[in-house]
Structure 1
């Protein structure tokens, strides 16, 4: 059959016909024999373009269920820690990119859930929102080491950069904001910035050793350390009676509301260590400990070890006093003491759920200030077939019209029964 509208590229003839060679159709010029096209198996004979499979089927790719669950988990964590909307959107974008990557597409569900938390973590750090790996691990109930490993892989795969500046690194710049040089304030209140930074750095390191820094915003901690450092360098009557509010006005800096709490916590730690100084005979209080800050920081490692050792000794002595039947229990056979009764095991389980931060000398703030665990209420099973008493019906009625309707309905039921 001759094909109209086509011309031979060799001779220009329009005498083009279909030449069936077995199952392979070809377009051939009758005049010169040139093969114009290799047929429909190789290409479109009229010069059409290739169409991809995704474009030809008109089928939209639907996200898998695990991806939907992961995105929902990201939203839940963002709502729990109450971040801004732009942080939530950034975390969702990171999770979708990472989930479809070959390094995360075939991992187990635990790692995919941890990946959701890591996307929230990196988004918060990029937006300067204070969050830690420990917080994410607590939200996911996951191993912090696993969270840290997935977090590093996420940064490497997506080529992201997150804020990792330590609190010590910004301390020097923070101390320079305080206008307390000799040419700015009276001599008895003036302090050199270099000396102030060195003392404040030692106080921050002590706070880190005693868990005060854990999970806290850096600014209140820096202000508390700077204020106590300034007081302890020259603990005269002028500095000791100056409150934090007056000190901030003197130094022309804006006061942080949480700094007072950090000051109280730092003083508690200093008092615990100050009581371990051998040459100190008087009672160490939060008001008098400022004069001992220099000695405490100079010997802080030895004082920390001594305080921890004495605290453990006092706990052991307390346990001995509270267990009068110790000899009786030790004389029992080995197999009886290794497996306590069921009621004893239940009591041990209750003790393990108590706030252990009250029993140790230093503990993270989240442990010391832990809220009481919420008791789950039993689920009510309602089928709709339960009987309703007359008193319950009366309690449901709210208007006089409903009362009249009920009385009329009862009369109709009585009359129908008589018939």
Structure 2
């Protein structure tokens, strides 16, 4: 078969045909027998070079079973969260990079399972998709502390800076997790997610003004604000009597242990603001403050200023009280003792204080008798006798003492 359009580079003859006598097809010149083309092995990228065995016969490395399962887990988490295709692709890319990294090669299978969720969390935060670490932990059925440790190690290994998220950015997605639509619950208990999100955000702002948000995890705080928002939007008899635990059961949400504490703290802050409402004549208590939430959030700034002025006036009045004769005639020794007494927590003197001040962690205080103990002190005979409990131990101790005494006399 003639190859049209080709000429022999040696003699210039156009009589170039295909040679089918060899295993590889070649184009040869009929007149001089020169090989015009060597075929596929020396074509394109291999032209003019030696071809090694690894280039022609090597098999591409296939992912292991755990890596395949991890990619499927990433895909399942993304579908459960209903993220877009861009986040899903980025999560798969991060998982492939992290799985081959030396920090995650020789780790437990549980840690690799958590790695899949952390890659999804990292992608969501980079692409501004609101999601919390608690949600990922719930999907993985893993401990939040363990997931957080894997997430920090992932960021460090891949050298990626993930943006921090705010509670307000997560609230909308968090409210949609509560199954309290008219299709899920009774009409008296149903609430629109948009109204719930708006009221919960207003309560988060109240909590931020009261320093309740400072240093706190977002999930319990959001659960507390959603619960109070749900009660305040329609404060009927059924909602006001319902507890947080039963509300989570109806909404198909897992209750967080610290959420009830956040509810009590937010109610305390609302009471301080609710007492400043001019048209409220009854006493505002944690039991009825939910009924006044709408007025409080609408006039939050004005009520906060009024509450601060009232608190400062009360402090000024206490400091201006006249000194009693008993205090005036107090001896100097008593004054020095009073000065050495521990001062009260300054968080009790302000209207709002951070949680680390109002509820500080209790530190273990060593007894005075153990502060200077080094372990090299001599043990008295009376103290040794106090350690002896049984008659057998008493006899053995007496025999040992006699043997030591006899040995000392013999040595003399």
**RMSD, matched Cα:** 3.7
Structure 2 residue 201 is the aligned partner of structure 1 residue 177: no
List per-residue Cα deviations over 1:246-289 (Å, max 9, x = no partner): 21122122221211111111111111111110110011111211
- What does residue range 5-404 of structure 1 map to in structure 2 within 5 Å? 127=151, 160-321=160-321, 323-324=323-324, 354-372=344-362, 374-375=364-365, 377=368, 378-380=371-373, 389-392=380-383, 394-395=385-386, 398=393, 400-404=395-399
List per-residue Cα deviations over 1:46-104 (Å, max 9, x = no partner): xxxxxxxxxxxxxxxxxxxxxxxxxxxxxxxxxxxxxxx98xxxxxxxxxxxxxxxxxx
Matched residue, 1:57: none
CA distance in 2, matches of 1:255, 1:124: 20
CA distance in 2, matches of 1:348, 1:394: 44
CA distance in 2, matches of 1:322, 1:259: 45
Secondary structure of the 1:169 match is: helix
CA distance in 1, matches of 2:384, 2:333: 47
Matched residue, 1:63: none
Offset of 1:210 from its aligned partner? 0.4
CA distance in 1, matches of 2:255, 2:375: 55
Instruction: Judge which range, 162-171 or 399-408, deviates more.
Output: 399-408
Q: When the two structures are superposed, what TM-score results if normalisation uses the length of structure 1? A: 0.53
Structure 2 CA distance for partners of 1:411 and 1:183, relative to 1, 3 Å:
closer
Secondary structure of the 2:180 match is: coil
The size of the alignment, in residue pairs, is 257
CA distance in 2, matches of 1:261, 1:345: 40
Structure 2 CA distance for partners of 1:284 and 1:389, relative to 1, 3 Å:
closer
List per-residue Cα deviations over 1:186-230 (Å, max 9, x = no partner): 222111111110000000111011011111111111111001101
CA distance in 1, matches of 2:291, 2:303: 16
CA distance in 2, matches of 1:211, 1:349: 31
Q: When the two structures are superposed, what TM-score results if normalisation uses the length of structure 2? A: 0.54
Offset of 1:321 from its aligned partner? 2.3
CA distance in 1, matches of 2:384, 2:255: 61
Structure 2 CA distance for partners of 1:128 and 1:301, relative to 1, 3 Å:
farther
CA distance in 1, matches of 2:197, 2:239: 17
The answer to whether the 8 A contact 1:128-1:163 is kept is no
The answer to whether the 8 A contact 1:178-1:251 is kept is yes
The answer to whether the 8 A contact 1:126-1:163 is kept is no
Of the candidates 401, 404, 408, which is equivalent to residue 406 of structure 1? 401
Q: Flag structure 2 segments of 5+ consecutive residues without an equivalent.
A: 1-109, 112-146
The answer to whether the 8 A contact 1:126-1:162 is kept is no
CA distance in 2, matches of 1:230, 1:292: 13
CA distance in 2, matches of 1:393, 1:283: 65
Structure 2 CA distance for partners of 1:241 and 1:399, relative to 1, 3 Å:
same
Offset of 1:312 from its aligned partner? 1.3
